[in-house]
Amino acid sequence: MPIQEIYLEQVAGLNHFQVIKSYDTALAREAFSDMDEVPG
């Protein structure tokens, strides 16, 4: 496999990981704000 293809795959994987991470963060923030609204 050419080096350029490997590099592009790594960059694509990194971007995909960033998207998942920010998505998880937004989801966790929503979940925590929901928990805060529940009476203790």
- The pLDDT of residue 1 is 58
User: Is 39 within a domain?
Assistant: no
Range of the domain at 6: 1-34
Q: How many domains does the chain have?
A: 1
Give the Cα separation of 22 and 15 in Å (integer).
Answer: 11
Task: Write out the H or E segment, with its range, that includes residue 7.
Answer: helix 3-37
- The pLDDT of residue 40 is 53
User: Is 20 within a domain?
Assistant: yes
Quick: pLDDT tens for 1-40: 577 887 888 888 888 788 888 888 888 888 888 767 666 5
**pTM (predicted TM-score):** 0.40
- Chain centroid to CA 12: how far? 13
User: CB 5: neighbour CB atoms within 10 A?
Assistant: 9
- The pLDDT of residue 32 is 80
Backbone angle region of 38, left / alpha / beta, with phi > 0 → left and psi within -120 to 50 → alpha: beta
- The pLDDT of residue 39 is 62
User: Is 40 within a domain?
Assistant: no
